[in-house]
Amino acid sequence: MNLKDFWKERERKHLTKIGKYLKYVFNDHFILFAFILFGAIAYLYSEYVKSIQINEPLPLYVLGVFIGLMPFVGNFSTLLQEADKLFLLPIEDDFNPIASRLRRRSFLIPLILLGFTAAMASPMLVAYQVYSFSNWWQLWVLLILLKWINLYAQQILYKSWHQDWTLLYHAALGIVNIILVYLFIFTSIITSISLALVLLISTLFVYQRFFESERWNWEYMITKEESRLTNQLKLINLFTDIPEIKSEAKRNKIFDPLIQSLPKANTSAALHLVSRGFFRNPSYINLYIRLLAIALILILLVPTPWMSLIIGLLFLFMIGFQLIPLANQYEKVKAQAVIPVAQDLIIRETQRLINWLLQAASLFFGIMGLFNTTDYIAAIVNMLIYILFSFLFTSFYIPRRLKKKQK
């Protein structure tokens, strides 16, 4: 097997592993969640675009910074591993054509993301009379050129042994990106795209003239690839358990009063176990706080109580669904055998804890809704619906879901 076939096999195994995880992420519940969330954001965005005042350019400056930073999304994917710095060193020259193919492969997913960015930015740019809807692809072309510059610059860093340049590279390229986007928005579309094309040709010339014959910096490349893959798995780990991601238990002293407030007489060992598992496991507590914060922001931004209700119910379902694995987190912990706790009791107390967490989220959603409307009766009704939904979710859905998983 030559190096080319070896790398194709490594890519196949990587895609198979990621595909297995994504199969659990993109389940029916997540698709429904994403569909409704996207609809709510699109509605808010359309309402905002309708209220834009052309004589107020500040939103354009903010949008320009956002667009200018988008080419940084998606790094050069090499799939290098620790052992490669030993086994690939004798055949380093054979890696050059593979690196070129990997660079093209690393461009595919960002190509779609950049097209989506250009499409989403177009309503604002049309409202500010930058161009018409039929010319939205021009921004996509500019972002494509900037992304190619980004990938070639990363490859230059992989060939360079002066890693102090890394921070300078990100700062300089970020500034150049934002300047070209501002030039696109405020001055001339043709000039901006032309300068980006000239910059791409110059970057390619610099690489071929000064760096193409240099040796690969294997240590740096492997470190960057390990960081990229870890961040990728951490993102997936927000939605499903990833064996490669090890969450380190950490005592969060700020939550100790909540744990200590559990009623001593009526609290079982199982409730103390699952409550500490929630508050001391970053995967759960961070997920809860993150989803809670996003929901509160969206509820504050939506203009009507009925939209607040839909968003609140959607996030309550998402929070509760993501916390269901709390019931199984101690199954493989051998220390539990010292003081065994019946699994049925753990499941029951997990339902109890999730119910408390959802009820707390319901109160936060209801209070936030009061700040965003003058119809206080509707806001209070929303809060009551949140509380009722939380009770029904933990009383009926979670037991059925856990029994299904046990089978």
d(Cα 370, Cα 377) in Å, to the nearest integer? 9
Q: Residues with Cβ < 8 Å from 135, sequence gap 6 or more?
A: 189
Between 199 and 397, the higher pLDDT residue: 199
* pLDDT confidence bin for 71, thresholds 50/70/90: very high
The single-letter code of the amino acid at 275 is S
Q: What is the pLDDT of residue 258?
A: 64
Q: What is the pLDDT of residue 23?
A: 80
Residue 147 near residue 114 (C-beta atoms within 8 A): yes
In 3-state terms, what secondary structure has residue 252?
coil
Name which of 216-220, 281-285, 392-396 the model is least confident about: 281-285
Average confidence score pLDDT of the chain:
83
Q: What is the pLDDT of residue 332?
A: 54
pLDDT at 158 over 90: no
Residue 398 near residue 324 (C-beta atoms within 8 A): yes
Per-residue pLDDT tens digits for 15-61: 898 888 888 777 666 777 777 778 778 887 888 888 888 888 888 99
* pLDDT confidence bin for 255, thresholds 50/70/90: low
Per-residue pLDDT tens digits for 345-390: 777 788 888 888 999 999 999 898 888 777 788 888 989 999 999 9
* pLDDT confidence bin for 67, thresholds 50/70/90: very high
Q: Where are the alpha helices (DSSP H) in 128-217?
A: 137-159, 165-186, 189-206
Q: What is the pLDDT of residue 342?
A: 62
Q: Where are the alpha helices (DSSP H) in 51-94?
A: 58-69, 84-87
Q: What is the pLDDT of residue 372?
A: 74
Per-residue pLDDT tens digits for 175-196: 999 999 999 999 999 999 999 9
Q: Name the percent of the chain lying above pLDDT 70.
A: 84
Name which of 57-61, 75-79, 335-339 the model is least confident about: 335-339
| Residue written as token pair 């379902």 | 317
Q: Compute CA 233 distance to the chain's CA centroid, rounded to the nearest angstrom.
A: 10
Residue 372 near residue 299 (C-beta atoms within 8 A): yes
pLDDT at 308 over 70: yes
Helices and strands: H and E segment counts in the chain: 16, 0
d(Cα 400, Cα 407) in Å, to the nearest integer? 11
The 8 Å CB, 24+ separation contacts for 298-302 are 298/40, 298/41, 298/44, 299/365, 299/368, 299/369, 299/372, 300/368, 300/371, 300/372, 301/44, 301/372, 302/40, 302/44, 302/372
Residue 70 near residue 114 (C-beta atoms within 8 A): yes
Q: What is the pLDDT of residue 70?
A: 93
Residue 33 near residue 317 (C-beta atoms within 8 A): yes
First to last CA, the chain: 43
Domain residue ranges of the chain, discontinuous segments joined by +: 3-237, 253-406
The reported pTM is: 0.75
Q: What is the pLDDT of residue 265?
A: 45
Q: What is the pLDDT of residue 260?
A: 65
Residue 231 near residue 75 (C-beta atoms within 8 A): no
pLDDT (average), residues 293-322 = 85
Q: Residues with Cβ < 8 Å from 325, sequence gap 6 or more?
A: 241
pLDDT at 229 over 50: yes
Residue 299 near residue 368 (C-beta atoms within 8 A): yes
d(Cα 86, Cα 135) in Å, to the nearest integer? 50
Among the listed residues 170, 163, 11, the one whose alpha carbon sits nearest the alpha carbon of residue 75:
170
pLDDT at 239 over 70: no
Q: What is the pLDDT of residue 364?
A: 93
